[in-house]
Amino acid sequence: MTQLTPRGRPLDDELTARVLDEVRSRLDAVGMVSLRIENVAAAVGCSKTAIYRRWPNKAELVAAAILEGISIGRTPDTGDVVEDLVEHAWQHLVNFRQEGASEHRQNGVLLALFDLEVIPLISEGYMQARHVIGRDILERAQFREQIGADLDHDLILDAIAGFTLFRLSVKPDSKAHTDAEMKDSYRRLIRSLLSSSSRAARRATTSV
C-alpha cells in the first residue's frame, strides 16, 4: 500500500524498501556514527529530501531499518511455562537473525540498537509490546500455580532478553550450533531462573 507524507503526497514503497535495505548494509559496513544520509541517498538514486520526507532524522531512519519485517509475535500457550518462554524468546532471536533478509548481516545493526536516540524508538515500536507478552506468559503461569508469586517478572524477562542479545552479538560462536541445541540452552536457562519460584510454589502447596 502506498504511504502518504504528512502533506498528503504519495511515497514510493519500492524506494522505501531500498533505502531501508541500504541503511542496514551501511550500518554493518560503517556503523551508526559514520552513517550518512547523503551516502544512502546516492546509493539508492534518490535525493536526501526523499529520505527526510519519510524519516525526519537519522535515528528515526535507523530504527525503521531495524524494525522492518520484525514480528512482535503472539502469546504462546503450550501449557508449560518453560516452553512458552522458550517460544517467546525464540521469536526474538529469529527476528534479529533474519532482519532485512540479508545474508551478510553483521553486528552493526545490533550495535545501532544501543544508540541513545534509537533506544527509545525501538522500545516504543517493539520492546514494550514484547515485554507485555512475556508478562502475560508469567502471569498466566502464576494463575495456573506453575510458578510462585515471588517471581520478579521483569527481572526474568530482562535476563532472557539479555541472553538472546549476548548470543547474537558478543558470543555468536557458542557451543549451541543448531536450533535444537540453542532452544535447549534457553530451556536450561529458564528452568534455572524459575527454579526457586517453583520450589516456593511446591512448598506452599504441600503446606496447605
Residuewise pLDDT in 10s, the chain (208 residues): 334 444 444 468 899 999 999 999 999 999 999 999 999 999 999 999 999 999 999 999 999 999 998 999 999 999 999 999 999 999 998 888 754 444 444 578 888 988 999 999 999 999 999 999 999 999 999 999 999 998 999 999 999 999 988 887 776 666 667 889 899 999 999 999 998 655 544 444 444 4
Is 3 in a helix, a strand, or coil? strand
What whole-number distance in Å separates Cα of residue 200 and Cα of residue 193? 13
Host H or E run for residue 97: helix 81-98
What whole-number distance in Å separates Cα of residue 110 and Cα of residue 172? 12
**CATH says 3-67 is which class?**
mainly alpha
Helix, strand and coil in the chain, % to nearest 5: 70, 0, 30
Q: Tell me the domain boundaries of the chain.
A: 3-67, 81-207
Instruction: Quote the pLDDT of residue 102.
Output: 43
**CATH says 81-207 is which class?**
mainly alpha
Instruction: Quote the pLDDT of residue 204.
Output: 42
Question: Cell 559496513 maps to which residue?
Answer: 29
